[in-house]
Amino acid sequence: MNDPAPPATHNDGAIRIERHPGGADGAVELRVAGRLDLAHANTFVRELRRALDSVSGRARVDLAGIESLDGAGASLLLHVLHEHAGRVELAGAPADVRAVLDLYRGADAREPLRAPPEHVGVATQVGKATFDIAETVSSTLAFIGELFVSTVAALRAPRSIPWHQLMGLIERYGVDSAAIVILINFLMGLVTAFQAGVQMERFGANIFVADAVAISVCRELGPLMAAMILAGRSGAGIAAELGTMKVGEEIDALRTLGLDPHRYLVVPRLLSLLIAVPILTLIADVAGIAGGAFISVTTFDLTLSTYVGRTQAALNIWHVGTGVIKSVAFGLIIGLTACERGLGTRGGAAGVGRSTTSTVVIIIFLLVVFDFLFSLVFQLFGV
């Protein structure tokens, strides 16, 4: 019997690879001992490749001396064996080592848990998108119809509406949003006044900065910015709240108890928004004008009394009234869209997330479209 050859490598005492002469089948035996883990796997694989490259024929890797084997070591070991497929085999692996190797050897052979995505043609995508749009329009019209019926029934029986919720909802959607509405519109007033003042200063018309700020804020920026803030804050909140109730089957529970979800959930939220949005719009108008006054006084050499007087002269009832009319419509858009998306939620927590996201996107789109339509109608009627 031949004595074993000296170790080919010695890696910090953790892994040893010893080469022994071939047996009856002529295969050279490489005995591996130590811990084949993440800390020593790269060094071991490098030395194993070197040892296998020095063998011209078949080789047998004996794993009887392996003390421990983790996933990193198993993956790299199997990768090396794959590189020398057909002339290298494993032998002598303990039961626990063999179990890990079998696990990682079978990982490549197992079918993926999720099927690969199928190729979808352009025509199919267009058809699916068209079908989704038609389904959305249909569900929206159905929601509006059910809400109309519920509202008529509520008017006949006003006590069936949970009026005790109204003040709490107004506080949540209106009072709690007032601070951010004031801040955003004050900054919008600053920006509008600065941009207008830079241009008007060239012609010595600084005093007309007050006109530009007052009219633009009251007719456009005030109602639109207040509505957009509520779209992201209250609209998303309503959709998430109702969507969670829908996937949690609380809406079905209300119907089981004989309560109309539209009358019990939707009508109070619509009423609270119809009250809160116009009030926030008036607050936004004041904040925007204040922001314009701050820039005009500190940057364009206008006195506060001059700015206030010019603002009073520039504004009339319709400048403020058109913004309030828009805000009522904006509140209706926010409430209807958020409630419809929330009550139409499907698919668990992921569905709630999709409903919330789509609510904000749809509301902002509708706000801009209806703002343009209102401006066009007001222009046609000379308002």
Residue 2 lies in a domain: no
Average the pLDDT over 118-134 and give the result: 82
- According to the model, what pLDDT value does residue 283 have? 95
For strand 59-69 and strand 88-91, is the pairing parallel, antiparallel, or unpaired?
parallel
107 pLDDT higher than 90: no
CA distance to 4, 98, 101, per residue, from 95 (Å) = 25, 5, 10
Confidence of residue 100 (pLDDT cuts 50, 70, 90): confident
pLDDT in tens, 330-343: 999 999 999 988 88
Same domain, 165 and 34: no
Indicate the burial class of 71 (C-beta count within 10 angstroms; 0-12, 13-18, 19 or more).
Answer: middle
- According to the model, what pLDDT value does residue 363 have? 92
Same domain, 174 and 305: yes
pLDDT in tens, 166-201: 899 999 988 999 999 999 999 999 999 999 888 888
Domain boundary among 74, 107, 140: 107
More confident residue, 25 or 324: 324
Amino acid 55 reads V
Do residues 279 and 330 make contact, with C-beta atoms less than 8 angstroms apart? no
Confidence of residue 272 (pLDDT cuts 50, 70, 90): very high
- According to the model, what pLDDT value does residue 109 have? 47
Same domain, 163 and 232: yes
Our count of domains for the chain comes to 2
Residue 184 lies in a domain: yes
Residue 92 lies in a domain: yes
Dihedral angle sign, alpha carbons of residues 155, 160, 162, 167: positive
6 pLDDT higher than 50: no
Of the given ranges (2-6, 179-183, 197-201, 316-320), which has the lowest mean pLDDT?
2-6
Separation of CA 261 from chain center: 27
Residue 115 lies in a domain: no
Average the pLDDT over 339-361 and give the result: 87
Amino acid 87 reads R
Do residues 71 and 107 make contact, with C-beta atoms less than 8 angstroms apart? no
3 pLDDT higher than 60: no
Where residue 13 sits, what CATH number does that domain have?
3.30.750.24
Which element (helix H / strand E) includes 61?
strand 59-69
Residue 349 lies in a domain: yes
Of the given ranges (71-75, 134-138, 264-268), which has the lowest mean pLDDT?
71-75
| Averaged confidence pLDDT in the chain | 82
Residue 5, φ and ψ in degrees, nearest 5: -70, 160
Separation of CA 367 from chain center: 21
Confidence of residue 366 (pLDDT cuts 50, 70, 90): very high
> What secondary structure, in 3-state letters, does 90-145 show?
EECCCHHHHHHHHHHHHHCCCCCCCCCCCCCCHHHHHHHHHHHHHHHHHHHHHHHH
Report the predicted TM-score, pTM, of the whole model to 2 decimal places: 0.67
Q: Which of 312, 325, 290 is nearest to 183 (CA)?
A: 290
Same domain, 211 and 163: yes
Average the pLDDT over 200-209 and give the result: 84
Can you list the alpha helix ranges (DSSP code H) found in the chain? Answer: 41-53, 71-83, 95-107, 122-156, 166-170, 176-201, 209-216, 222-230, 236-247, 250-256, 261, 267-299, 304-314, 317-343, 348-380
Residue 119 lies in a domain: no
pLDDT in tens, 34-46: 777 777 777 777 7
Average the pLDDT over 218-227 and give the result: 92
Please tell me the distance from the alpha carbon of residue 112 to that of residue 103, in angstroms, as a whole number. Answer: 15
- According to the model, what pLDDT value does residue 21 have? 65
Please tell me the distance from the alpha carbon of residue 372 to that of residue 359, in angstroms, as a whole number. Answer: 20
Contacts of 281 (CB under 8 A, 6+ apart): 222, 223, 226, 227, 323, 324, 326, 327
* Structure tokens given for 266: 């939707």
Please tell me the distance from the alpha carbon of residue 220 to that of residue 296, in angstroms, as a whole number. Answer: 20
Same domain, 65 and 207: no
Residue 116 lies in a domain: no
Expressed as residue numbers, the domain containing 156 is 129-380
